[in-house]
Structure 1
Amino acid sequence: MPEHKTDKKNLAPQRCAWAESDPQMQAYHDDEWGIPERDPRALWECLMLEGFQAGLAWITVLRKREAFRAAFHGFDPAKVARMTERDILRLLDDAGIIRSRAKIEATIQGARIYNDMAARGEDFADYCWSFTDGQVVHGDGIALPATTALSERVSKDLKKRGFKFVGPTIVHAWLQAVGIVNDHAAACAWRRR
């Protein structure tokens, strides 16, 4: 039987290249990104945060995530839906978050939509996973498209329901983040399987 030599430099498992440059991104990749999320509130929170990312790098949102949680009542949709103009003005002065009136208003509107869905008996997690019949969609681990037919379809439906900042690119990033789509790189020993 032939001997296999181990290159000691390559003992550490590889992760997706986008996560290698920053310790916070590494932790996010290793502990959250791409893990199938089934909690409706967590799915909604991630969608709202992806909306705040529009035009920015995800690390910007990630570094401000705890401030966002504080500003938006832990992303409790019932509390966020009751936010008023006074709250919007307060948030526009909050340097801990991304201070975009349109994105803040979109989050409040998103909470109202979430609550309306719940009032009609529509679970947000069931809704999110219905686009893939509850199954994770596995990318090929090589190509990382900015949008897909799936993200186009989900984006269109979210917009029809009244959500904002849910274009196909944002939606694809969200689908990846919440594990509906597994786009970990083929060589990612952390999470590909």
Structure 2
Amino acid sequence: MQFHYAPNTISLATALALIETETDVDYVRVDFAKAEQTSPAYLAINPKGRVPALVTDHGILTETGALLDYVAALNPDKNLIPDDPYTAAQMREVMWYLGTTMHVNHAHKMRGHRWADQDASLRDMTAKVAETMGASCAYLQDKIAGPYVVGDAVSLADFYLFTLCTWLPGDGVNIADYPTLSAHFDLMMTRPAVIKALEMGLFTKV
């Protein structure tokens, strides 16, 4: 398999799951600085021009939630999805919130053109990011069972949450203002998969 990623993007969440499970995959960097995500070669892989994308023997998969579920399904022995149906639903509740709300909050900073054209609208969206990301952090404080998102064991939601928290300094949010979230981030930083991802240059710790 080939995993197409860009550093410091949402692709980190899937990369962490791949590393955690020791899945055999080739990592292919998409250089955003060179606009490789819009090149014909990459658009043939992902017409959306975004990362991540996972090339498998069966076809190409995109979208973080789908990729995380696929990695977990390939490695059932790693128990990245809780056995209990309700706990698994709680895990996905956090994941879907991250994907549909918090990630969108963050995207308003540099991707405002997806929603508006007027400069005043773009400036307003950018100015709002610290507030909306902070609100997401406050909400997530009460969703973490501890020490991981759904209890004592790491799950897919932890990789997802950690990834978005790496963006907080750039969004003007101090994670220390949210002790439960900060403790989760510090715990994740001790995991071998996260340490390896940092060494691989998949993200930058600010």
User: Structure 1-normalised TM-score?
Assistant: 0.30
> Relative contact order, CA 8 A, sep 6+: which one is greater?
1
More strand by share: 2
User: Structure 2-normalised TM-score?
Assistant: 0.29
